[in-house]
């Protein structure tokens, strides 16, 4: 049997704004690590900022801005006054790179946010124009949350929505035409990337909490920790590939910290693994004891983000009760005692959270600022299948058949009654408060 040619693509993103906060196609490169045993694997990553055509600006730890071009807004978004962009490699260069690889038998395209599907449509359009017989397969977040919508896109042949290795093994075996072995945590094939100095890792999957706005349980119904030895092996491999900055993709890194996080942190220190670590997904303040804070500091965790979402206590209970204000205060106190400066710590708050008033957001911002931590605002967007989605559906705010473009976190607060100008004012105000902490 002749070896198949597999093309893996991380597609363009169409959006009003996009920043590379350790956005890495982890699942796609894990797939590459599997498929290289069954054929020839090629990667085109439209968002690889190791490419001079993609990288617009960066910070010290692998984050930064993407190259972008303004494009026409879809009809559904015409009322939004902000310009709309395609982020990533220029189209002509995408075509050139795809044309330089052998004709692919199967094209695997990963997907992100549900409202980023226009980038997937454009990617498929270009690939099909060049390789009409190629089988187009979608996977990832959008494909899992909205499989019917994904299957309706022109040119799509297969959509993978599985949640574990067994389902993936069966799916790939059917496509490839031979039995495909899928290990529990495949190593990502970093050799395919241009930029390798920053990468990501999952030390666990799932989350024990059921926050009303979060879709974690839709991807991993239960919390599963990886073995310490397996994680260390992956980190050592990353170091050999030139990775220096590592972002955790975990949803619940500190849960059961005595059995998981602490032993792992101690092993990182013991082996003198020289990475900087970052927590863009947020840590649970409830579990940030002084012991944990000290181990994070010793293991060189630099970017610390804590998840709060709102300081309004009733809303905290209604959205899942994962953290209380007093737990945040204790966590911040412990981090400072461990040697972190206040300005090094950020706390996520959510703008546009259902049932949260403008005054709730204002008081939450002032509360976090009074504790000496920086505020990081995340716009609420509805995720199909979550409790907040069901609540908004009952109220007639969302529908199952609505265009996923309306899920956009720039658009949806406006749909809930937040004025674009007011949102901009709030963000500028928060920026000034954060700047004051740097002085």
Q: What is the mean pLDDT of residues 268-296?
A: 96
Q: What is the pLDDT of residue 81?
A: 87
Nearest to 329 by CA among 347, 343, 312: 347
Residues with Cβ within 8 Å of 36's Cβ and at least 6 positions away in sequence, in order, are: 189
pLDDT at 235 over 90: yes
Residue 7 phi, psi dihedral angles, 5° rounding? -105, 125
Q: Which CATH superfamily is domain 196-438 in?
A: Aldolase class I (3.20.20.70)
Q: H-type helices in 59-201, by residue range?
A: 91-99, 117-130, 141-145, 147-151, 165-176
Three-state DSSP at 71 gives strand
Q: What is the mean pLDDT of residues 326-349?
A: 95
Residue 202 phi, psi dihedral angles, 5° rounding? -110, 120
Cβ–Cβ under 8 Å, residues 44 and 97: yes
The one-character DSSP state at 283 is B
Tokens of 113: 């946010």
Q: What is the pLDDT of residue 238?
A: 96
DSSP string, 145-156: H-HHHHHTSTT-
Nearest to 94 by CA among 51, 56, 134: 51
Q: Which CATH architecture best describes the domain 4-176?
A: 3-Layer(aba) Sandwich (3.40)
Cβ–Cβ under 8 Å, residues 71 and 86: yes
Nearest to 34 by CA among 137, 160, 179, 188: 188
pLDDT at 1 over 60: no
Cβ–Cβ under 8 Å, residues 275 and 244: yes
Q: How confident is the model at residue 314 (pLDDT cuts 50, 70, 90)?
A: very high
Q: What is the pLDDT of residue 436?
A: 92
- pTM listed for this prediction: 0.94
Q: Is the dihedral of CA 341, 21, 293, 301 positive or negative?
A: negative
Q: In 270-419, which ranges are E strands?
A: 276-278, 301-309, 345-351, 374-379
Q: What is the pLDDT of residue 291?
A: 97
**Domain-by-domain residue ranges, the chain?**
4-176, 196-438
More confident residue, 102 or 51: 102
pLDDT at 178 over 90: yes
């Amino acid at each position: 049997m002749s070896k198949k040619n597999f093309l893996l693509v991380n597609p363009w993103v169409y959006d009003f704004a996009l920043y590379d906060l350790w956005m890495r196609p982890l699942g796609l490169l894990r797939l590459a690590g599997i498929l290289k045993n069954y054929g020839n694997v090629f990667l085109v990553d439209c968002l690889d900022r190791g490419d001079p055509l993609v990288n617009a600006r960066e910070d010290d730890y692998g984050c930064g801005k993407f190259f972008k071009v303004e494009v026409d807004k879809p009809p559904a978004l015409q009322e939004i006054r902000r310009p709309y962009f395609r982020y990533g490699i220029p189209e002509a260069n995408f075509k050139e790179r795809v044309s330089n690889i052998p004709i692919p038998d199967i094209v695997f395209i990963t997907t992100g946010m549900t409202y980023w599907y226009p980038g997937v449509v454009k990617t498929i359009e270009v690939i099909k124009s060049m390789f009409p017989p190629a089988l187009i397969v979608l996977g990832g977040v959008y494909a899992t949350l909205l499989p019917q919508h994904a299957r309706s896109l022109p040119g799509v042949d297969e959509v993978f929505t599985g949640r574990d290795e067994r389902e993936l093994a069966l799916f790939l075996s059917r496509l490839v035409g031979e039995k495909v072995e899928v290990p529990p945590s495949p190593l990502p094939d970093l050799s395919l990337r241009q930029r390798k100095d920053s990468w990501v890792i999952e030390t666990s999957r799932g989350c024990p909490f059921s926050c009303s706005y979060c879709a974690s349980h839709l991807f991993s119904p239960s919390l599963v920790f990886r073995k310490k030895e397996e994680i260390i092996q992956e980190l050592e491999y990353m170091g050999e590939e030139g990775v220096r900055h590592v972002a955790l993709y975990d949803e619940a890194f500190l849960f059961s910290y005595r059995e998981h996080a602490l032993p792992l942190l101690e092993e990182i220190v013991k082996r003198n693994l020289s990475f900087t670590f970052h927590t863009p997904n947020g840590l649970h303040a409830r579990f940030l004891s002084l012991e944990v804070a000290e181990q994070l500091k010793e293991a060189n965790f630099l970017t610390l983000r804590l998840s709060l979402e709102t300081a309004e206590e009733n809303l905290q209970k209604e959205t899942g009760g994962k953290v209380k204000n007093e737990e945040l205060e204790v966590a911040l106190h412990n981090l400072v005692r461990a040697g972190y400066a206040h300005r090094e710590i950020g706390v996520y708050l959510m703008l546009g959270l259902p049932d949260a008033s403008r005054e709730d957001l204002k008081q939450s911002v002032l509360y976090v600022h009074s504790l000496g931590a920086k505020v990081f605002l995340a716009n609420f967007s509805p995720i199909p299948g979550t409790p907040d989605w069901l609540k908004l559906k009952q109220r007639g705010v969302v529908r199952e058949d609505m265009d996923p473009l309306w899920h956009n976190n720039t658009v949806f607060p406006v749909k809930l009654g937040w004025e674009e100008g007011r949102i901009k004012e709030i963000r500028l105000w928060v920026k000034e408060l954060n700047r004051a902490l740097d002085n």
